[in-house]
Amino acid sequence: MDYRKQCYESFISKHWDFSHSLSQQQFEHLWKIYKKRFSNILPIDKSAKIIDIACGAGYFLYYLQKEGYINACGIDFSQEQLEIAQKMGVKNIQKADIFKYLPNNKETYDMIVANDIIEHLTKDEIMEFLDLIHKALKPSGEVLISTVNAQSLLGASTVFVDFTHETGFTPVSLSQVMRVCKFEDVVVYGERPIPYDLRSTVRSILWWVVDKLLKMYVSVERGTGRGMWKCENIFEPRIYAIGRKKI
């Protein structure tokens, strides 16, 4: 029995069970946050071809389409999640297997978004996955990857919160595997809290304090202010990586 197929088909109802929060209001709320978080990294050209692989319930795709990206589309393996996306008005989505879909779309996309998928793959699958993304991008196209951060304070709980998670990443290991798979100008950064109201502003300030304390601890532990890698002192629960295909 394929455990992943069984789990993905009922991902909403049997795992997250957050259908109570899947409202138009929730999608609008996330649109505002995503606009602050991602607007500076998306293509300037609104006609750019962008695909959100493993788009899930369609939060990010909703954001892209509301921002006017007319060629933004998405695929996912979970019919349950795709139906939610359709109810919320998300367009251009279909059920598909990444490993079967991408080989038929070489040098097609200006940007590929891969949120919360890479941790579900084995190491061999990750190498194939990144290779397929690289081939599906146009020259100078970019990939945006997000995953949980294994070196965050509660890293173990974030990596193993889902039975289908196979591989954990630190900022350094994520940067490493992307560079091995031919991506250039790789940048990894943490998902810092976005201040949008009083509560989130207080959280953002408190996180700044916690982050400084964590970096101080690492400095004491290692006996140095900085280690071998630029991205190693990232402690946010989630990390993002951007990589570019060579022209």
Residue-level pLDDT, tens digit, the chain, 247 residues: 677 777 666 666 665 655 446 788 889 989 999 999 999 999 999 999 999 999 999 999 999 999 999 999 999 988 888 998 999 999 999 999 999 999 999 999 999 999 999 999 999 999 999 999 999 999 999 999 999 999 998 888 888 888 788 999 999 999 999 999 999 999 999 999 998 889 989 999 999 999 999 888 888 887 765 555 666 789 999 999 999 999 8
CATH number of 117-247: 3.40.50.150
Q: Residue 76 and residue 57: Cα distance in Å, rounded? A: 9
| pLDDT attached to residue 222 | 78
Task: Say which DSSP state 84 is in.
Answer: H
The tokens 């933004």 sit on which residue? 72
CA distances from 56 to 14, 82, 94, 193, 226 (A): 15, 6, 11, 22, 37
Compute the Cα dihedral for 105, 70, 81, 39 and give only its sign: positive
Q: Residue 168 and residue 118: Cα distance in Å, rounded? A: 9
Q: Within a 13 Å sphere around the CA of 213, how many CA atoms are in the beta-carbon half?
A: 8
232 within 8 A of 124, measured Cβ to Cβ: no
| pLDDT attached to residue 89 | 93
Q: Which of 155-158's residues contact partners 24+ apart within 8 Å by CB, and which partners?
A: 158/237, 158/238
Side-by-side strand order, sheet with 184-190: 93-95, 72-76, 50-53, 109-115, 137-148, 238-244, 184-190
- Domain ranges (residues) in the chain: 1-96, 117-247
Count of CB atoms within 10 A of residue 221's CB? 8
Do 1-96 and 117-247 have matching folds?
yes
| pLDDT attached to residue 156 | 83
| pLDDT attached to residue 23 | 81
Return the closest-CA partner of residue 22 out of 81, 102, 97, 93: 81
User: What tens digit of pLDDT does each residue of 68-99 get?
Assistant: 999 999 999 888 889 989 999 999 999 999 99
61 within 8 A of 50, measured Cβ to Cβ: no
Token representation of residue 218? 């690492």
At the fourth CATH level, the homologous superfamily of domain 1-96 is Vaccinia Virus protein VP39 (3.40.50.150)
State the angle between helix axes of 59-66 and 24-38 in degrees (0 to 180), rounded to the nearest 10.
70
- The model's pTM is 0.90
Count of CB atoms within 10 A of residue 102's CB? 25
